[in-house]
Structure 1
Amino acid sequence: MTQRLAKIIAAHSVYSRRDAERLILDARVDVDGIVVSEVGFKIGDVAAHKICIDGELLNVSDITQPAVWLYYKPVGVITSARDPQGRDCVFERVKGRYAHLAQQKMISVGRLDINSEGLLILTNSGQFARYLELPQNKIAREYKVRVYCKKNYIEEMFRYFKNNKTVSIDCIDYSLDSISLISSSQNHHWLKLILWEGKNREIRKICTFFHAQVSRLIRVGYGPFKLGDLKPDQVANCSSEMIKKYFPQLY
């Protein structure tokens, strides 16, 4: 039985399937000493081949079991390993504050922009990250959003999404599964929004479209994972039992 090389890399490393495909296209992967540059390349018995990424042998003796950490990303921190502008980055910050994670390989599940805060899932498995990110897997993202606008704009937004799941902005469709009001005080409103995918600045664009200015955006849930009582910059470890309970197909 043959498998795509990108799938094999994703199953045995921190790279997602998409990242693995990029590695192949960039000629950074070789099999048995021969550089592979076609994303559709397949091999049979994985253990019978030597797969290298940037010259480093890929360990295929055991599929990487997902480890998951929940991190409260503060405002002002970049969801990246490093930033050419010298701004604070998630992985530098986490590994600098938590010594036991300093040597851990990890990637983020999706991103939160620099002005957003809240739950960011970190994992050692590219396959797991990719599974959570794919819209077709219906992993709900839950947000608390504070907006500033006149109440009639909020009412207009609610009327629209009562009958529609999608709004088109600049020829791009943005979808909400649900929207509800948490509280209001004059022209300040807290909203709860749930969506199935995370396009770039999706919530901010939707709110702006309805004349609502976002002043705070907090992700409080991602599938079964919740922000809970985490404080900014805190990390919590998820048990393997919890991951197996909700995602048995990845084991």
Structure 2
Amino acid sequence: MAALMAAVAAAASTAFATLHLTKPAIPLTRTTHRHLRTIIASSLSSTPSTTPEFNITFAPPKPKSEPKLKPKPASESESATETPGQDSASELDDQLYIPWIVRDESGNLTLQSTPPARLLHQMANAETKKKKKKKEKDSKAKPASPTAEPKFSKAARRFYNENFRDPPQRLSKVLAAAGVASRRNSEELIFGGKVTVNGSVCNTPQTRVDPVRDVIYVNGNRLPKKLPPKVYFALNKPKGYICSAGEKETKSVLSLFNDFMNSWDKRNPGLPKPRLFTVGRLDVATTGLLIVTNDGDFAQKLSHPSSKLSKEYIATIDGSVNKRHLITISEGTVVEGVQCAPDIVELLPPQPDLSRPRIRIVVHEGRNHEVRELVKNAGLEIHALKRIRIGGFRLPSDLGIGKHAELKQANLRALGWKS
């Protein structure tokens, strides 16, 4: 760049051209920093068909020994006679002068020393914008386009199916889980030849099937591939309700879930409705805690005697209770051919709002009518019987009669269910 500047300066000192302007020429000087100052002029002909020609010339170099002139204050007379757009050399000292070629109202090109008024107005009204930081640009980057889910290899899918996927289950169990009927009624449908698996009639309830892969029809209706999710409820059973799906003239505890079942499709679109059933049973006159679910394995574990889950009852007795009665109840009795003895027998303290005595009895066998048989064997008559606890889960005090509440994982663990 320095060599180029030196060559231009040498050429400018030896060659000069004559500049023809329609307006007086503006003298320009070269600064001590050897900046080039150029003047562009245009000579316009009177006819619009001719194109304007521009001649360029350079000012002679300024000697180094020449002192720098300071601008003198102009008098009022000089300022009045000074032509607008024409500046002195001192005013342009140390400053690069750039002329403006502007088209006037008549369409002719003219030379002026100040920018157009329109440009100055736009610059004054322009709004300055802060420079965006690189971090902001990175944060506002366009989101990546969604990519399709990766397709796993056959070996990976086979490994998943063999190790993590649910294994095939018995046909009767699959039908019961799908809500077709109870397991016993599902077996009757299978024996009756009303169930087909992959186009063939299946008469064996123990046949292992996979509802996702196998095509299962029951009475001409295909079984959905998606099984309903597992649900668990605690119900405060009222008196006069039976635990099985009763006939029209009897009231079933499952009818207390009609609102829940009617709103199932709205809350769980695309999923089949679960078939609810009770875990164990309470007779029609017994009230209190009852577990309702559609998980057959969970129900079997809780209701089977081998689980040895303790169940706590409060028996309200007609008449008086003495120590001999409590000893007889604690000794146990034979229920369904098996000797059953309670874990705890306790006479509760009287309360002012209750006139009848109450006995707290805890059993773990879970035999049918076990508590009633124990009290009957002691020569007492039960006025009311209520179950208040199963395992480590106690009936919530704020759960009204006939109401149900969904069980959480902590409640299921209290019932001994770890899955």
TM-score normalized with structure 1 length: 0.76
The 5 Å alignment of 1:219-230 reads 219-229=387-397, 230=399
Structure 2 distance, partners of 1:59, 1:16, is 17
Q: CA deviation at 1:184?
A: 4.8
CA-based RMSD of the aligned residues comes to: 3.5
Structure 2 distance, partners of 1:23, 1:175, is 40
Q: CA deviation at 1:190?
A: 1.0
Q: CA deviation at 1:54?
A: 4.0
Structure 2 distance, partners of 1:235, 1:146, is 24
Identity of aligned residues (%): 26
Q: CA deviation at 1:67?
A: 1.5
Q: Deviations over 1:49-69 (max 9, x none)?
A: 22344444344556x553211
Structure 2 unmatched runs, 5+? 1-166, 266-272
Structure 2 distance, partners of 1:244, 1:76, is 30
Structure 2 distance, partners of 1:29, 1:23, is 7
Structure 1 unmatched runs, 5+? none
Which structure's CA Rg is the greater one?
2
Quick check: 1:145–1:193 contact (8 Å CA) kept in 2? yes
The 5 Å alignment of 1:1-251 reads 4-9=170-175, 20-21=186-187, 23-25=189-191, 27-39=193-205, 41-43=206-208, 47-59=212-224, 61=226, 65-84=229-248, 86-96=249-259, 100=263, 105-152=275-322, 155-160=323-328, 162=330, 164=331, 166-168=332-334, 171=337, 173-184=339-350, 188-229=356-397, 230-240=399-409, 242-243=411-412, 246-249=416-419
3-state DSSP of counterpart to 1:128 = helix
Q: CA deviation at 1:219?
A: 0.9
- 103-112 or 186-195, larger mean C-alpha shift: 186-195
Q: Which amino acid aligns with 2:250?
A: R
Structure 1 distance, partners of 2:301, 2:225, is 20
Q: Report the count of equivalent residues.
A: 242
Structure 2 distance, partners of 1:151, 1:233, is 30
Quick check: 1:10–1:125 contact (8 Å CA) kept in 2? no
Quick check: 1:17–1:130 contact (8 Å CA) kept in 2? no
Q: Deviations over 1:137-170 (max 9, x none)?
A: 2222221111124434xx33432455x4x52157
3-state DSSP of counterpart to 1:248 = coil
Structure 1 distance, partners of 2:368, 2:192, is 25
- 230-239 or 27-36, larger mean C-alpha shift: 27-36
CA 1:191–1:20: 2 relative to 1, 3 Å: farther
**Higher normalized contact order (CA 8 Å, seq sep 6+, divided by chain length):** 1
Quick check: 1:76–1:114 contact (8 Å CA) kept in 2? yes
Q: CA deviation at 1:174?
A: 3.8
CA 1:3–1:232: 2 relative to 1, 3 Å: closer
Q: CA deviation at 1:100?
A: 4.0
CA 1:140–1:98: 2 relative to 1, 3 Å: same
Structure 2 distance, partners of 1:12, 1:98, is 14
Q: Deviations over 1:151-208 (max 9, x none)?
A: 34xx33432455x4x5215745444333222235899421112223433322222211
